């Protein structure tokens, strides 16, 4: 009986000792874990950065005009060679005008008769002859203008498109005879996001490649729209292409490449250092020996780095590893540092 009690008592003592020994071990372990957390850091430096963007564009003729008649009439002369070149002032279409020519001749004859009677009827001329001559001259000028409207001439040198009428056809001012395009120079038209609007000015050079093309071409910005489109939040840009190349055909699609957002004082941090939050983005910055969470504003981004516009300064050390284990004011020990000057 006593031996049994002794054994039970001994077992209780051993259990008590073992229980007391476990908390002691945890305390020692927790003390070891309370040391500074080892992390990697990145020292922020100024660097030159820019963003390469690609936007769609279209090539347009420098000038393009739909050739129409000012008055209705029958075509008696047609000098429209499809796909051919035409010089400025060349007669392209002539409408029937024999009735106007007859009227013009009649008025000229009447004017000659009035002028001949000037010597014989000097007194009558003083009273009402001058006014009759002036009226005749005005009628002659009006008829000459009407005749000129039957002649359709090229407004500038260019290349003629396909014609839509034939010789002898009757046309009205609403009919499109053909299209004239000035293709010695081309225009490149595209749109950019509103945040880059201030960077695109007259004289800015852009590089583009046409759809299916194998070489790059250069265009020079000649004008921009005077306001950003409220629906698309983009700015319309027009550039001049002086280059002559078989690839450059009016109407073709183009891919426009630009280097925008360029600055020599950019602050970059590794992409993995940025912590996305519900309403903002944060970085963990080393302050003395503690970690501080800082709200930042980001800019240009690529596969490895992110531009920081607000929130940090040159020389700050940003934590780049162990981010999930760090809480505000956690003691950290930066064991490896990368510098922004290594970019």
Domain enclosing residue 90, as ranges: 63-178
Q: Are the C-beta atoms of 334 and 321 separated by less than 8 Å?
A: no
Do 188 and 164 fall within a single domain? no
In this structure, are 142 and 88 located in the same domain?
yes
Same domain, 192 and 57: yes
Q: Do 96 and 238 sit in the same domain of this protein? A: no
pLDDT digits (tens, 9 = 90+) for 109-126: 888 887 777 656 655 555
Asked if residue 148 and residue 287 are part of one domain, the reply reads no
170-171 and 73-78 strand pairing: antiparallel
Name the band, by pLDDT with cuts 50, 70 and 90, for residue 130. low
Domain end marker among 261, 286, 308: 261
C-beta separation of 72 from 170 below 8 A: yes
255 shares its domain with 156: no
Structural domain ending residue among the three candidates 230, 261, 292: 261
Position 11 in a domain: no
**Does some domain include residue 116?**
yes
Residue pLDDT, tens place only, 270-290: 999 999 988 899 999 999 889
**In terms of domains, do 167 and 67 share one?**
yes
CATH number, residue 129: 2.40.50.100
pLDDT band with cut points at 50, 70 and 90 for residue 28:
very low
Same domain membership, residue 167 and residue 71: yes
Look at residue 4 and tell me if it is in a domain. no
- Residue that finishes a domain, picked among 161, 178, 195: 178
Tokens of 167: 């010789």
**Is residue 2, in this structure, part of any structural domain at all?**
no
**What is the sign, positive or negative, of the torsion defined by CA atoms of 95, 96, 100, 105?**
positive
Q: Report how far residue 282's alpha carbon sits from residue 269's, in angstroms, rounded to the nearest whole number.
A: 12
Number of domains in the chain: 3
Q: Please report, rounded to a whole number, the percentage of residues in the chain having pLDDT higher than 90.
A: 56
Supply the CATH number for residue 271's domain: 2.40.420.20
């Amino acid at each position: 009986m006593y031996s049994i009690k002794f054994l039970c008592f001994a077992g209780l003592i051993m259990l008590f000792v073992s229980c007391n020994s476990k908390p002691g071990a945890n305390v020692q372990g927790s003390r070891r874990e309370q040391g500074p957390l080892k992390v990697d850091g990145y020292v922020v430096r100024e660097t030159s950065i820019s963003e390469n963007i690609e936007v769609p564009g279209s090539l347009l003729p420098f000038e393009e005009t739909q050739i129409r008649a000012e008055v209705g009439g029958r075509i008696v002369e047609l000098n429209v060679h499809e796909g051919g070149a035409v010089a400025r002032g060349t007669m392209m279409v002539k409408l029937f005008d024999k009735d106007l020519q007859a009227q013009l001749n009649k008025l000229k004859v009447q004017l000659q008769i009035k002028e001949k009677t000037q010597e014989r009827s000097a007194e009558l001329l003083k009273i009402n002859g001058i006014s009759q001559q002036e009226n005749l001259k005005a009628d002659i000028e009006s008829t000459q203008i009407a005749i000129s409207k039957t002649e359709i001439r090229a407004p500038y040198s260019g290349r003629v498109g396909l014609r839509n009428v034939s010789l002898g056809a009757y046309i009205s001012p609403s009919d499109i005879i053909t299209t004239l395009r000035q293709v010695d120079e081309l225009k490149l038209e595209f749109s950019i996001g509103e945040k880059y609007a201030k960077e695109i000015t007259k004289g800015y050079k852009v590089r583009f490649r046409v759809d299916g093309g194998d070489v790059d071409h250069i265009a020079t910005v000649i004008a921009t729209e005077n306001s950003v489109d409220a629906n698309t939040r983009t700015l319309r840009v027009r550039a001049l292409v002086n280059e002559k190349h078989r690839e450059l055909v009016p109407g073709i699609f183009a891919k426009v490449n630009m280097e925008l957002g360029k600055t020599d004082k950019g602050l970059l941090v590794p992409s993995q250092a940025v912590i996305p939050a519900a309403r903002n983005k944060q970085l963990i910055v080393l302050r003395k020996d503690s970690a501080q969470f800082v709200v930042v504003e980001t800019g240009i981004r690529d596969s490895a780095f992110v531009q920081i516009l607000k929130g940090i300064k040159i020389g700050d050390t940003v934590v780049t590893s162990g981010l999930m284990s760090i809480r505000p004011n956690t003691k950290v020990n930066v064991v490896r540092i990368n510098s922004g000057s290594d970019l």
